Amino acid sequence: MTTIYLIRHSAKYDVFKKLGKFNSDDNNYGQYKYRFLSIEGEKRAEILGKEAELQNLDAVYCSTYVRAMETAKYLAEPQNLSLNVDKRFDEISEGDLESSVWNEGCDKQYIDLDLKYPNGESHNEVFQRFNEGFWETVLENRGKRVAIVTHGCAMTCFMHPFVEFVEPVVDDYKWFKFKGKEVFKGKYDVPEVFKLIVDEKNKEILDIENIFFEDLTRRK
C-alpha cells in the first residue's frame, strides 16, 4: 500500500487584496500564482513540517505556485528530499470570474462539474490532470509515503468522484464522506491535510482521512 498526503498550502499573503487590486491582469481573482506565504503562513508551514505524522516521507511533490512550493520546503528540506514540482497539481484556473461573484461562481462548479468560465477550467478538467499526476506519482513511489502540496479546490476536484457530498458546497463550506465515514465538515484550514491509503496494484483508494493537528487548527 502507498500513503499519499494531500496538503493544502499554508496561509498566503494577499498582496493584491491589500492593495485593492483584483482583475484579470492578476492571473485570476484568488488564484495568483506568485502570491507568497504571509509571516503567519511561514510559521504554520514550519510547524506542519515538524508534525510526527509527516516524518519519514519518501518524496515531496507540489504545484508550480509559490505558496505551495514555500509550504513544501518545510517538509522536503528537513528530510533531505528533493522537491518535485508538477503543474498538474496547480490550483483551478477560474478564468474571467468577477470578484464580486467569486464564491457563488465557485460553488456552482461543485454542482455542474463541466461548468467553466471564459479562459478557465471546469472541475472535470482539473480532475483529469490531477488524476493523471496522482497515479503517476503513486506508481513511481509504490509502497512509500508521499506528500503532495497543492490547493483547496484542486484537491477537492480530485477527491470529488471518490467521496459523497452530504450537502451542496455553499461559500466554500464542505461536508463529505468516504464509504459512509465522515471525512470533513467545515472550511479548509491553511494548511489542511488528507491522508489517502492507496492500493497501487488495483489503482484503488482504500481510505481517506482528514488529519487533525491540534497546534495548527483554527477551523470555525
In eight-state DSSP terms, residue 35 is P
Predicted TM-score (pTM) of the model is: 0.90
Residue 84 has pLDDT above 90, yes or no: yes
What is the CA 191 to chain-centroid distance, rounded? 9
CA distance 153 to 160: 10
Please check whether residue 170 lies inside any domain of the structure: yes
Residue 23 has pLDDT above 60, yes or no: no
What is the model's pLDDT at position 20?
42
Q: Is 26 helix (H, G, I), strand (E, B) or coil?
A: helix
Alpha helix segments (H runs only) across the chain: 15-18, 39-50, 66-76, 102-111, 123-140, 152-159
Give me the sign of the Cα torsion angle 89, 95, 100, 105: negative
Please check whether residue 101 lies inside any domain of the structure: yes
Q: Structural domain of residue 164, as residue ranges? A: 2-211
Please check whether residue 7 lies inside any domain of the structure: yes
- Give pLDDT tens digits for 132-176: 999 999 999 999 999 999 999 999 999 999 999 999 999 889 999
Kindly report the number of other CB atoms within 10 A of residue 210's CB atom. 17
- Give pLDDT tens digits for 177-218: 999 999 999 999 999 999 999 999 899 999 999 999 988 866
For the residues 48-77, what does the mean pLDDT come to? 97
Please check whether residue 219 lies inside any domain of the structure: no
Please check whether residue 107 lies inside any domain of the structure: yes
Please check whether residue 157 lies inside any domain of the structure: yes
What is the model's pLDDT at position 100?
58
Say which CATH number the domain at 70 has.
Answer: 3.40.50.1240
Residue 18 has pLDDT above 50, yes or no: no
Please check whether residue 217 lies inside any domain of the structure: no
The whole-chain average pLDDT of the chain stands at 89
Within 13 Å, how many C-alpha atoms sit on residue 77's CB side?
10
| Cα–Cα nearest to 91, from 140, 20, 18, 31 | 31
Partner residues linked to 186 by β-bridges: 174
Q: How many structural domains are present in the chain?
A: 1
Which of the four pLDDT bands, split at 50, 70 and 90, describes residue 97?
A: confident
Residues in the chain: 220
Q: Is 19 helix (H, G, I), strand (E, B) or coil?
A: coil
- Cell numbers for 50, please give them: 515538524
Q: Are 182 and 35 in contact (CB under 8 A)?
A: no
Please check whether residue 165 lies inside any domain of the structure: yes
